[in-house]
């Protein structure tokens, strides 16, 4: 387990480690806890190196189509609802 106050984007960090599974607790922003998930092959050494090199980027905003899909709709449904 690694404890850090560094700005971390957990999903991005997971991708940087090859999507091998991480879990985190960010309740205290000054003591973020990050560790490999159960069954993960990530070592603490790899995790520390990845955190040291990590530059957190904000997640991109979902597109309108993605937002609609999240509630079971699509762009055609929106056009019909708007009378277009």
The yes-or-no verdict on residue 35 having pLDDT over 90 is: yes
Instruction: Report pLDDT for 81.
Output: 86
Read off the pLDDT of each residue in 18-44 and give the average, rounded to a whole number: 95
State how far the Cα of 64 lies from the Cα of 27, in Å rounded to an integer: 30
pTM above 0.75, yes or no: no
SS3 per-residue string spanning 42-56? CCHHHHHHHHHHCCC
């Amino acid at each position: 387990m690694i404890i850090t106050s560094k700005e971390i984007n957990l999903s991005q960090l997971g991708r940087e480690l090859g999507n091998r599974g991480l879990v985190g607790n960010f309740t205290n922003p000054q003591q973020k806890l990050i560790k490999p998930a159960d069954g993960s092959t990530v070592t603490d050494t790899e995790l520390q190196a990845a955190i040291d090199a990590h530059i957190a980027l904000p997640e991109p905003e979902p597109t309108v189509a993605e937002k609609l899909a999240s509630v079971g709709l699509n762009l055609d449904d929106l056009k019909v609802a708007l009378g277009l």
